Chains A and B, each alone.
Chain A
Amino acid sequence: MCLAIPGKVVETFDQQGMRMAKVQFGGIVREACLEYVPETQVGDYVLVHVGFAISRVDEEEAQRTYQLLEELDQLTELKAPVVDEIGDGRRKP
């Protein structure tokens, strides 16, 4: 669980003053916090660990690392459920 997974930043947005991104990992898109790599732009590749980008990498590095993590079966964290509750048992539409 200590490995970071590379993905492509496809969108950035603000969440209560925190810089966030949607990051594409293969066929899965998950949110990641960009506070630790604030210079990141859409189209960049970042190493993401438990929902936080910790470093920027180039595309070739990203693709190679992703493939290796897939072979090592180290992508399970991406499959954790998405939290979409907004209170009173309601969910985001």
Chain B
Amino acid sequence: MKYLDEYRDGRLAGKIVEEIHRIQTKPWVIMEVCGGQTHSIVKHGIDYLLPREIELVHGPGCPVCVTPLEMIDKAHAIARRPDVIFCSFGDMLRVPGSDGDLFTIKSQGGDVRVVYSPLDCLKIAHAHPDKQVVFFAIGFETTAPANAMLVWRAQQEGVKNVSMLVSHVLVPPAIAAILQSPLNRVQGFLGPGHVCAVMGYREYEPLSAQFKVPIVITGFEPLDILQGILMTIRQLEAGRAEVENEYSRVLDREGNKPAQRLVFNVFEVADRKWRGVGTIPKSGYKLRWEFREHDAEKLFDVKEIDTLESEVCISGQILSGIKKPHDCPAFGAECNPQHPLGATMVSAEGACAAYYAYGRHLKRDKDDVKLTAISMGGPA
């Protein structure tokens, strides 16, 4: 738990919190979409500063978390091949598949490498012409331009031994899926800042209008998040439903056009399965036909793999804002970051992992922590 004086500008943070308390008259449920925002909220105890009737629920915006187990198993099957150098962002190495993780495969002799940039795979491919270099292309819209460039350059340079296992997901279809659920509780959204730095926020406008929900594109500093919450509550209290931009110092409505152009040249929209949630129509990218020579799923005949998810885990409901980590009987007990049972615990940006990292598995209820904060001179 952090207190107001530890915020970048404690006085300003205090004023925003005061204003939220002043204008709020009804209970509201607000979802932050981005895993970075979830992390920041839990670390700084932002939810504890809000009126009791404002509930923050944590969305599906961690790409590591929502990569389906089948895809992880496919990655592992490819990574085990002796003719393959398997490259991935570091976050994916510890994510368990049905049979171990990428670290295990590496320790058993598989050539598994962590890369900083997808472009590193081109260098590796040049250095190992006898091997197929496969990159595990996961991510949201923020990561898509980087991954698209790898395939684009490989084709331009005629590098044949580079391919990608694509598991790309998109934020707006996930928001639509959450809002269409009969169990939906979410009334307003903090939109993902860095995703919108690439894509802009034009595509959130029809969502906001159709479902009559405020969407405030928000950064991930504590002050940004408080400001985003205030802007969302203002709209909710006034009965407005618009897209607003809290993060205008970084992004605008149009986003990064050169990045969007390359993404659309390389990828096309496809149905994608989300771990814990299921298949969401048109919710991700796949490689366009022109780039099929670089599509690892086509190059390697990896059969559909049957997978078994935990029966206890409620990560799907957590990602949809229907439940919170504490509602799960396994949270902090049989499910923890060393032995994750499902999506929201497998990466540090998942809601359950963030709650665990900041000790919330030890405190079962908001009031418990709040009382501690008050007694230490923190905000009521």
Binding site for B on A (CB under 8 A): 1-4, 16, 18, 30-33, 35-38, 47, 49-52, 54-55, 57-58, 61, 64-65, 68, 71-74, 76-78, 80-83, 85-88
Q: Out of A61, A82, A87, which one reaches B249, CB within 8 Å?
A: A61
Q: A38-B258, A61-B250 are in contact. Are A50 and B124 (CB under 8 A)?
A: no
Question: Taking each of B64, B153, B195, which has the highest tally of chain A beta carbons within 10 Å of its own beta carbon?
Answer: B153
Count of residues in B whose CB is under 8 Å from the partner chain: 54
Give bound CA distance, A57 to B61, whole Å. Answer: 23
B126 at the interface (CB under 8 A from A): yes
B258 touches A2 (CB 8 A): no
Within 235-279 of B, Cβ neighbours of A (below 8 Å) are at 249-251, 256, 258-259, 262
A1 touches B146 (CB 8 A): no
B349 touches A33 (CB 8 A): no
B149 touches A35 (CB 8 A): yes
Give bound CA distance, A86 to B126, whole Å. Answer: 7
A1 touches B63 (CB 8 A): yes
Give bound CA distance, A16 to B40, whole Å. Answer: 39
B116 touches A57 (CB 8 A): no
A2 touches B249 (CB 8 A): no
CB distance from A5 to the nearest CB of B (A): 10
Give bound CA distance, A83 to B197, whole Å. Answer: 28
Q: A50-B116, A50-B143 are in contact. Are A1 and B349 (CB under 8 A)?
A: yes
B157 at the interface (CB under 8 A from A): yes
Residues of A within 8 A of B157 (CB): 16
Q: Out of B119, B195, B256, which one reaches A36, CB within 8 Å?
A: B256
A2 touches B34 (CB 8 A): yes
Give bound CA distance, A48 to B113, whole Å. Answer: 21
- What is the count of residue pairs linking A and B with beta-carbon distances less than 8 angstroms? 138
Residues of B within 8 A of A47 (CB): 194, 197, 250
Q: Out of A32, A55, A68, which one reaches B221, CB within 8 Å?
A: A68
CB distance from A24 to the nearest CB of B (A): 15
Give bound CA distance, A2 to B168, whole Å. Answer: 12
B127 at the interface (CB under 8 A from A): yes
CB distance from A28 to the nearest CB of B (A): 10
A82 touches B251 (CB 8 A): no
Give bound CA distance, A87 to B123, whole Å. Answer: 9
A54 touches B36 (CB 8 A): no
Give bound CA distance, A49 to B197, whole Å. Answer: 11
Within 99-122 of B, Cβ neighbours of A (below 8 Å) are at 113-120
Give bound CA distance, A23 to B140, whole Å. Answer: 23
Residues of B within 8 A of A52 (CB): 117, 145-146, 149, 259
Q: Out of B8, B36, B250, which one reaches A57, CB within 8 Å?
A: B250
Residues of A within 8 A of B153 (CB): 18
B256 touches A54 (CB 8 A): yes
Within 193-212 of B, Cβ neighbours of A (below 8 Å) are at 194-195, 197-198
B43 at the interface (CB under 8 A from A): yes
6 pairs from A and B in contact (CB 8 Å cutoff): A1-B63, A3-B220, A32-B117, A50-B89, A78-B116, A86-B123
